[in-house]
């Protein structure tokens, strides 16, 4: 068993997902809006500006609506560039398009380059503060309409994917007088302690591989012990380092832990990115990259070294033309990763574990105590395991209305998604052939019919929310 805590790489994976694919050039104005650093006390009166993107070309101020993307953990332009569904839907709804950047990400830092230096500055990085920013921004955008009765103002429809989808759902739940409905794509609002089994996430990653072939998932399942065994000797480490063309040769067993973490991330990212068409980010991926990888992993009964050589040939799908395999790539402190790590260490506690039986991963238990200790070491804060459930309701959300929770069943994050209808108008849409918020992306001729259906469902839902708004 590895000692490293399984950390969920929502952010990293999300960034990759969103950048993947040729992104059409969308046009928008970049604006800034002043918000208080702290919405909830009367003690700190500092302010800063968040960035937001606007396109008003389709907007009809009389009968149109406002499409508001509740930004998540990253540069907001990246989300705008990769949410084609919103752009494609806006003309029909005569919608104003807004993409709002989440505080502490991209270019929306409350305390500049000091923002991440101390809990004193960083403690304002919470989902509640971000939602309050969005409410202020919406009020600002509507400020000319606020004197009209509510049903004469433009209805606001929230959109978001992943953590952004959680925020879209939550802003509708918490501020129904501001937001008329929400499309919450791949939003794991149930991935919190005690709500879903911690092994579900990696079980889904595994089934993406095993449904290609059992040889494929079994090869990966067997590889962990072989890597560990080899990493115990100089000869073994040397063999692995040269045969896998590692940029930096393994020096110790701890380095092998890093390698195994890296592999875990690779398989997880491939599961999230298992799109029906070729996508292109830092790493160009073919359509259905797992199928390509698994076509190389044809015999899980091979002896140790040949098995690892075969696995390496499969990894080529992910590493592509890189000269050497850089397993420290994920460890680079990108701003977004830092912010998400802090959120995971405070309110977004998302337990994950693997057992090597229902999944193909190394055995890693979920241990809140050690997780909490590692958070304190990194950030000088302790996580509050039940804060998100207390704040947003956990599974007790039957009072929610006008939300579509969509989940691709290839997406490991569907483990924490809402997969059942929760009320008459807070409903679940399943996309069996979909990976991570495929439905928010622009249309593509390779789209499976299930995602086309989901997008039509979203549009019908939005229509009915708008009708309801103007009638009320
Ligand atoms: C988004 O697209 C615009 C225009 O195509 C481009 O200038 C910008 O660099 C892109 N930003 C990101 C973060 O992808
Ligand atoms: C809004 O987007 C459309 C389509 O990308 C573009 O033609 C138009 O110029 C944009 N408007 C603004 C104000 O950026
Ligand atoms: C932070 O920004 C200030 C002002 O722009 C600059 O002088 C300083 O060197 C920066 N500090 C770091 C650690 O980047
Ligand atoms: C990989 O391992 C095989 C079998 O041990 C060996 O014959 C081969 O030379 C190795 N390749 C490299 C590049 O080290
Ligand atoms: C798989 O490898 C084992 C061990 O080398 C060998 O006996 C078996 O024939 C191989 N199976 C296939 C289908 O290649
Ligand atoms: C590996 O990735 C890290 C982090 O991005 C980078 O600093 C380092 O230079 C890379 N090493 C090689 C050999 O490419
Ligand atoms: C959890 O981690 C703590 C701190 O590292 C350790 O003392 C404890 O034994 C672990 N619990 C289990 C069940 O492994
Ligand atoms: C939820 O209800 C809608 C009808 O409003 C239905 O189309 C959909 O299949 C239901 N979802 C699930 C997961 O049962």
Please give the pLDDT value at position 25.
82
pLDDT at 71 over 90: yes
In a mutational test of the pocket of ligand 1, which residue from 25, 76, 77 has the highest number of ligand atoms less than 8 Å from its CB? 77
pLDDT digits (tens, 9 = 90+) for 241-254: 999 999 999 999 99
pLDDT at 95 over 90: yes
Domains of the chain plus CATH, in order, are 2-192+388-471 (3.40.50.1820), 200-379 (1.20.120.980)
Q: Active site includes 469? A: no
Distance 301 CA to ligand 5 centre (A): 6
Q: Which of the four pLDDT bands, split at 50, 70 and 90, describes residue 393? A: very high
Asked if 244 and 308 count as a contact pair (C-beta separation under 8 A), the reply is yes
Whole-number CA gyration radius for the chain: 23
Output 331 or 308, whichever has higher pLDDT.
308
381 Cβ neighbours under 8 A, 6+ residues apart:
119, 123, 342, 345, 346, 375
Output 281 or 365, whichever has higher pLDDT.
365
Please give the pLDDT value at position 283.
61
Please give the pLDDT value at position 152.
87
What whole-number distance in Å separates Cα of residue 246 and Cα of residue 40? 49
- Ligand closest in space to the Cα of 331: 6
pTM for the model: 0.92
Output 362 or 281, whichever has higher pLDDT.
362
Indicate which atom in ligand 3 lies nearest the CA of residue 114: 1
- Ligand closest in space to the Cα of 281: 1
pLDDT digits (tens, 9 = 90+) for 1-12: 333 333 334 434
Using a 6 Å CB cutoff, which residues line ligand 7? 365, 367, 369-370, 373
Give CA angle at 349 (53, 362), nearest 5°: 110
Q: Active site includes 436? A: yes
Indicate which atom in ligand 6 lies nearest the CA of residue 248: 13
Distance 97 CA to ligand 2 centre (A): 10
Indicate which atom in ligand 7 lies nearest the CA of residue 365: 14
C-alpha closest to that of 372 among 332, 344, 340: 344
Indicate which atom in ligand 1 lies nearest the CA of residue 82: 14
pLDDT digits (tens, 9 = 90+) for 33-52: 999 999 999 999 999 999 99
Please give the pLDDT value at position 329.
66
The residue whose CA has the least distance to atom 10 of ligand 3 is 113
pLDDT at 21 over 60: no
Lowest mean pLDDT among 315-324, 369-378, 396-405, 429-438: 315-324
Please give the pLDDT value at position 280.
59
Asked if 290 and 211 count as a contact pair (C-beta separation under 8 A), the reply is no
- In angstroms, the Cα distances linking 15 to 10, 130, 373, 405 are 8, 19, 27, 21
What whole-number distance in Å separates Cα of residue 180 and Cα of residue 455? 18
Please give the pLDDT value at position 333.
38
Please give the pLDDT value at position 144.
85
The catalytic residue among 274, 330, 341, 411 is 411
Q: Which of the four pLDDT bands, split at 50, 70 and 90, describes residue 197? A: very high
pLDDT digits (tens, 9 = 90+) for 115-165: 999 999 999 999 999 999 999 999 999 998 888 888 889 999 999 999 999
Q: Which of the four pLDDT bands, split at 50, 70 and 90, describes residue 428? A: very high
Strands 403-408 and 284-285: unpaired
Q: Give the other-Cβ count within 10 Å of 422's Cβ.
A: 19
């Amino acid at each position: 068993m590895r000692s490293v805590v399984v950390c969920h790489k929502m952010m990293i994976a999300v960034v990759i997902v969103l950048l993947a694919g040729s992104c059409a050039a969308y046009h928008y104005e970049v604006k800034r809006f002043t918000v208080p650093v702290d919405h909830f006390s009367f003690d700190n009166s500092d302010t800063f500006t968040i960035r937001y993107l606007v396109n008003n070309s389709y907007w009809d101020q009389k009968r149109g609506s406002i499409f508001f993307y509740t930004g998540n953990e990253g540069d907001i332009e990246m989300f705008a560039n990769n949410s084609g569904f919103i752009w494609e839907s806006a003309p029909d709804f005569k919608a104003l398009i807004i993409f709002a950047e989440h505080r502490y990400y991209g270019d929306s830092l409350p305390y500049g380059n000091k923002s991440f230096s101390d809990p004193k500055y960083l403690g304002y990085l919470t989902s509640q503060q971000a939602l309050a920013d969005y409410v202020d921004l919406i009020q600002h955008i509507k400020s000319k309409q606020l004197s009209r009765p509510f049903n004469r103002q433009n209805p606001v429809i929230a959109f978001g994917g992943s953590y952004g989808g959680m925020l879209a759902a939550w802003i509708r739940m918490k501020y129904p007088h501001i937001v008329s409905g929400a499309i919450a794509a791949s939003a794991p609002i149930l991935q919190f302690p005690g709500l879903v089994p911690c092994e579900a996430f990696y079980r889904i990653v595994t089934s993406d591989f095993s449904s290609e072939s059992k040889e494929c998932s079994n090869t990966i399942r067997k590889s962990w012990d072989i890597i560990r065994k080899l990493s115990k000797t100089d000869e073994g480490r040397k063999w692995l380092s040269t045969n896998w063309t590692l940029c930096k040769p393994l020096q110790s067993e701890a380095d092998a832990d890093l390698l195994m973490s890296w592999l875990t991330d690779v398989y997880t990212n491939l599961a999230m990115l298992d799109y029906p068409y070729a996508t292109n980010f830092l790493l160009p991926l073919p359509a259905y990259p797992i199928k390509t990888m698994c076509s190389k992993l044809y015999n899980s009964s091979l002896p140790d070294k040949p098995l690892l050589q075969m696995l390496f040939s499969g990894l080529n799908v992910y590493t592509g033309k890189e000269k050497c395999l850089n397993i420290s790539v994920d460890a680079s402190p990108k701003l977004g990763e830092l912010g998400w790590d802090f959120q995971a260490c405070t309110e977004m506690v998302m337990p994950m574990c693997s057992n090597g039986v229902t999944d193909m991963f190394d055995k890693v238990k979920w241990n809140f105590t050690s997780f909490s200790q590692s958070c304190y070491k990194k950030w000088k804060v302790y996580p509050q395991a039940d804060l998100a459930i207390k704040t947003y309701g956990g599974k007790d959300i039957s009072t929610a209305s006008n939300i579509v929770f969509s989940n691709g069943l290839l997406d490991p994050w569907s483990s924490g998604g809402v997969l059942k209808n929760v009320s008459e108008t807070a409903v679940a849409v399943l996309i069996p052939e979909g990976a991570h918020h495929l439905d928010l992306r622009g249309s593509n001729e390779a789209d499976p019919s299930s995602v086309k259906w989901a997008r039509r469902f979203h549009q019908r839902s939005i229509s009915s929310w708008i009708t309801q708004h103007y009638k009320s």
